[in-house]
């Protein structure tokens, strides 16, 4: 049975928290944007198409953390060689995620939900794993407060589906509150590794 929170309340909570957050964090985002511009040049934002609700693609925004350095053959260098000192700091503190608040405001993401992974993985999910797309992707989620990138990828998908089956207002509020100390401690963060770019995919196919 679909609850009021799932139909309307979750979106109202997103707007109630995101609009003030964008206003309050505007100076911080401005300083980060300036730092990225001075150290890495343009573009300031990293844009990538990710699957959203019902796997419909959307463009996700983050602050840029890597250069476009290439080898002699014109191929991009490994991420570990392209991420900058500022980029490491932004990832460790999750400041690179702040532009995703714009995605939340637009209704493409939610504050809480499964992290949006890469489009190339869509045809590799099992039917059960694909159920993670029954809700809007989130900036944070059950998997993030339970271990973030440090846990096996397949385990993260299990947490995503578990959340889809059970989420309500109190679960989402708890996840948001627990995200704060997790972010401040930077536990579970794997630097130089984009979400989804892992060896242990645990996916079918």
DSSP 19-58: HHHHHHTHHHHHHHHHHHHHHH-S--EEEEEEE-GGG-EE
Dist CA 150 CA 189 (whole Å): 7
Q: Is residue 12 part of a domain?
A: yes
Res 148: pLDDT = 56
Average pLDDT (169-177) is: 95
Dist CA 100 CA 59 (whole Å): 10
pLDDT at 147 over 80: no
Please, how many CA atoms are within 13 Å of residue 39, restricted to the half-sphere of its CB?
20
Q: Is residue 61 part of a domain?
A: yes
Tally of structural domains, the chain = 1
Q: Is residue 204 part of a domain?
A: no
Q: Is residue 200 part of a domain?
A: no
Res 144: pLDDT = 84
pLDDT at 191 over 60: no
Q: Is residue 205 part of a domain?
A: no
Q: Which domain holds residue 44?
A: 4-185
pLDDT at 64 over 70: yes
Q: Is residue 196 part of a domain?
A: no
């Amino acid at each position: 049975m679909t609850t009021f929170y799932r139909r309307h309340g979750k979106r109202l909570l997103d707007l109630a928290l995101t609009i003030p957050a964008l206003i309050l964090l505007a100076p911080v985002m401005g300083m980060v944007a300036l730092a990225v511009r001075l150290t890495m040049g343009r573009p300031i934002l990293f844009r990538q198409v990710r699957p959203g609700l019902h796997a419909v693609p959307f463009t996700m925004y983050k602050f840029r953390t890597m250069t476009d350095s290439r080898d002699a053959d014109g191929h991009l260098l490994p991420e570990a060689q392209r991420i900058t000192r500022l980029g490491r700091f932004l990832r460790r503190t999750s400041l690179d995620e702040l532009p995703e608040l714009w995605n939340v405001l637009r209704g493409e993401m939610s504050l809480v939900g499964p992290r949006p992974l890469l489009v190339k993985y869509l045809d590799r999910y099992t039917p059960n794993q694909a159920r993670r797309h029954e809700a809007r992707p989130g900036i944070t989620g059950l998997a993030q407060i339970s271990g973030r990138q440090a846990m096996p990828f397949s385990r993260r998908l299990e947490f995503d589906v578990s959340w889809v089956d059970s989420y309500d207002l109190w679960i989402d509020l708890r996840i948001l509150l627990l995200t704060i100390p997790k972010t401040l401690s930077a536990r579970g963060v794997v630097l130089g590794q984009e979400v989804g770019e892992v060896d242990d995919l645990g996916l079918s196919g």
